[in-house]
């Protein structure tokens, strides 16, 4: 059972040091586990809920500085206290810049060790308390919405998150694919282990394999020590492969092997490394079309697509715009010391009516701009960017001179104009309007909500 004082990992290649430090800390009331080399230490960090790490610098294989880098990728807030019998100012400065909490010289002073560790755990507790205070608000901002499709997605998250199924998330840029992946991880049984996200489109093809699988010392010029890849770092947790549609066929084959065999080899290595990682893939591309064109492996698609999620664009779920605006106004209003800020009905209607080609990401950016510029407690229509309240027509076809219009946008605009005209003709009497347009009352209510129609639009 874990001590109430905390769980401490001691990493040192000398058995005598491990034994003596363990005895000292146990006398202080701590629970202590030990590791003699870097790779095992990182595995412990990934699998255990640690409160602090005591880390030697000079170790064979992976030295303490490399281990420190790996720890900070796994848990940025975990206090790491560096120990060294060959302490230099240069090493201490380097370790501190990489996030070490403190630097102790050997032979260790028991009093100094106890004090530094006590202070480190106190800081750790403050960080966790602050995170807990933010978590309720942060969790609410992950997925805010009243549309039926978003309610359905969150219901599916509650069902699939506790399983081990691979997941494929598709949707346009800015729809919140990474947020959805994080929500799945948070509600999974892996939520105490790392969540690592990799943007496959942002990493050059020549570097993607070493980024994912790591490399061994001497694998290539400049590989002076072993480096752990994202699969190592996300062991026991979740790995998001974002924009997987941009990954090369060669790398796709290696991802498929990991999914099938639960193992991989580092670049320059010949030893198979076992790994337990849940893969979530995301893309803005149609992978079935990519398969047909020979750019994506069909077998990998079937492996990833065990449970698919489709995040629709914001223009197709306008019911979500008012609660999203309210959520971001509260979040950003607090951040910019404007907690009472609210959108006027006309300003909110402009937000609802806009097409949002950049989806939720664009909406949040607009809200932040408005919050920064707002002087009173109300965001009026005039404060909404002209590009939102008076969107320009789309690009023109060079051969015809006519506007190039997205079919879905044209269809939606027709529906908005059609239903608004009928509602105004009938003074927003739902019964008369439903009879006139040939829809059931419930269906008309749903359509009004879906299109974000308001009687305040009359005369606009």
Q: What would the pLDDT profile of 264-281 be if each residue is shown by its tens digit?
A: 999 998 888 889 999 999
439 shares its domain with 355? no
163 shares its domain with 249? yes
Q: Indicate which CATH number applies to the domain containing 371.
A: 1.10.8.60
In a domain? residue 402: no
Q: What is the pTM of this model?
A: 0.61
94 shares its domain with 236? no
In a domain? residue 398: no
State how far the alpha carbon of 269 is from the alpha carbons of 209, 215, 236, 273, 409, in Å: 12, 7, 22, 10, 52
How far apart, in whole angstroms, are the C-alpha atoms of residue 125 and residue 51? 9
In a domain? residue 394: no
180 shares its domain with 289? yes
The residue range of the domain holding 45 is: 7-130
In a domain? residue 291: yes
Q: What is the pLDDT of residue 263?
A: 92
Q: Indicate which CATH number applies to the domain containing 412.
A: 1.10.10.60
Cis peptide before 130 (omega within 30 of 0): no
Q: Indicate which CATH number applies to the domain containing 299.
A: 3.40.50.300
261 shares its domain with 238? yes
How far apart, in whole angstroms, are the C-alpha atoms of residue 70 and residue 83? 17
379 shares its domain with 411? no
338 compared with 205, residue with greater pLDDT: 338
Say whether pLDDT at 315 is over 60: yes
DSSP symbols for 154-185: HHHHHHHTTS---EEEEE-TTS-HHHHHHHHH
Q: What is the pLDDT of residue 459?
A: 42
Q: What would the pLDDT profile of 396-445 be if each residue is shown by its tens digit?
A: 455 555 554 555 556 666 777 788 888 888 888 888 888 888 888 887 88
In eight-state DSSP terms, residue 439 is: -
pLDDT bracket for residue 257 (50, 70, 90) = very high
Q: What would the pLDDT profile of 40-78 be if each residue is shown by its tens digit?
A: 999 889 888 898 999 998 888 888 899 999 999 888 889
Say whether pLDDT at 247 is over 70: yes
In a domain? residue 135: no
Q: Indicate which CATH number applies to the domain containing 87.
A: 3.40.50.2300
Non-local CB neighbours of 101 within 8 Å, separated by 6+ positions: 52, 79, 80, 81, 116, 120, 123
Say whether pLDDT at 10 is over 60: yes
How many domains are there within the chain? 4
Residue 254, class by beta-carbon neighbours within 10 Å (0-12 exposed, 13-18 middle, 19+ buried)?
middle
Mean pLDDT along residues 32-47: 90
| Triad 449, 455, 460: Cα angle to 5° | 115
307 shares its domain with 329? no
In eight-state DSSP terms, residue 108 is: P
Whether 226 and 62 have beta carbons less than 8 Å apart is answered as yes
Domain's final residue, options 312, 330, 357: 312
239 shares its domain with 270? yes
* Closest CA relative to residue 321, chosen from 423, 450, 177, 219: 450
DSSP symbols for 359-414: HHHHHHHHHHHHHHH--SSEE-GGGS-HHHHSPPP-PBPTTT--B---HHHHHHHH
377 shares its domain with 353? yes
Q: How many residues does the chain have?
A: 460
338 shares its domain with 239? no
In a domain? residue 396: no
> Residue 14: which H helix or E strand, with range?
none
Residue 342, SS3 per DSSP:
strand
Domain's final residue, options 312, 329, 357: 312
230 shares its domain with 83? no
Residue 446, class by beta-carbon neighbours within 10 Å (0-12 exposed, 13-18 middle, 19+ buried)?
middle
Counting Cα atoms < 13 Å in the Cβ hemisphere of 134 gives 11
Domain's final residue, options 257, 290, 312: 312
* Closest CA relative to residue 218, chosen from 261, 258, 170, 268: 268
State how far the alpha carbon of 276 is from the alpha carbons of 9, 235, 262, 267, in Å: 22, 5, 6, 19
257 shares its domain with 330? no
In a domain? residue 143: no
In a domain? residue 353: yes
């Amino acid at each position: 059972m874990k001590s109430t004082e905390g769980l401490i990992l001691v990493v040192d290649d000398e058995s005598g040091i491990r034994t003596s430090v363990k005895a000292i800390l146990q006398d202080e009331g701590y629970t202590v586990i030990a590791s003699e080399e870097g790779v095992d230490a990182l595995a412990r960090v990934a699998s255990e809920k640690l409160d602090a790490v005591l880390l030697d610098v000079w170790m064979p294989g992976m030295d303490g500085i490399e281990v420190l880098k790996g720890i900070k990728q796994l848990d940025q807030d975990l206090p790491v206290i560096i120990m060294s019998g060959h302490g230099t100012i240069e090493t201490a400065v380097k370790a501190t810049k990489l996030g070490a909490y403190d630097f102790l010289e050997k032979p260790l002073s028991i009093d100094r060790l106890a004090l530094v560790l006590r202070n480190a755990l106190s800081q750790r507790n403050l960080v966790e308390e602050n995170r807990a205070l933010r978590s309720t608000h942060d969790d609410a901002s992950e997925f805010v919405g009243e549309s039926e499709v978003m309610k359905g997605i969150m219901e599916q998250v509650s069902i699939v998150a506790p399983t081990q199924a691979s997941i494929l998330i598709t949707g346009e840029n800015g729809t919140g694919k990474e947020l959805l992946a994080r929500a799945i991880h948070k509600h999974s049984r892996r939520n105490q282990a790392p969540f690592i996200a990799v943007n496959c489109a942002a990493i050059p093809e020549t570097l993607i394999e070493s980024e994912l699988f790591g490399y061994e010392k001497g694998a290539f010029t400049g590989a002076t020590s072993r480096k752990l890849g994202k699969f190592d770092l996300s062991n026991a947790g979740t790995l998001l492969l974002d924009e997987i549609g941009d990954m090369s066929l060669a790398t796709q084959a290696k991802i498929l092997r990991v999914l099938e065999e639960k193992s991989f080899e580092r670049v320059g290595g010949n030893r198979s490394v076992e790994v337990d990682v849940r893969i979530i893939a995301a893309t803005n591309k149609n992978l079935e079309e990519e398969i047909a064109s020979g750019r994506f492996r069909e077998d990998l698609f079937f492996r990833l697509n065990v449970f698919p999620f489709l995040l629709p664009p914001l223009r197709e779920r306008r019911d979500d715009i008012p609660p999203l605006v309210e959520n971001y106004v509260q979040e950003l209003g607090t951040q910019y010391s404007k907690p009472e800020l609210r959108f006027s009905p006309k300003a909110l209607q402009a937000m609802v009516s806009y097409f949002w080609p950049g989806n939720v990401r664009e909406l949040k950016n607009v809200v932040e701009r408005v919050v920064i510029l707002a002087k009173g407690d109300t965001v009026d229509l005039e404060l909404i960017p002209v590009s939102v309240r008076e969107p320009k027509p789309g690009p023109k076809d060079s051969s015809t001179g006519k506007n190039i219009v997205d079919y879905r946008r044209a269809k939606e605009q027709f529906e908005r104009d059609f239903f608004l005209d009928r509602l105004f003709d009938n003074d927003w009497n739902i019964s008369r309007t439903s009879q006139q347009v040939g829809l059931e009352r419930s269906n008309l209510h749903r359509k009004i909500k879906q299109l974000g129609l308001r009687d305040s639009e009359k005369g606009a």
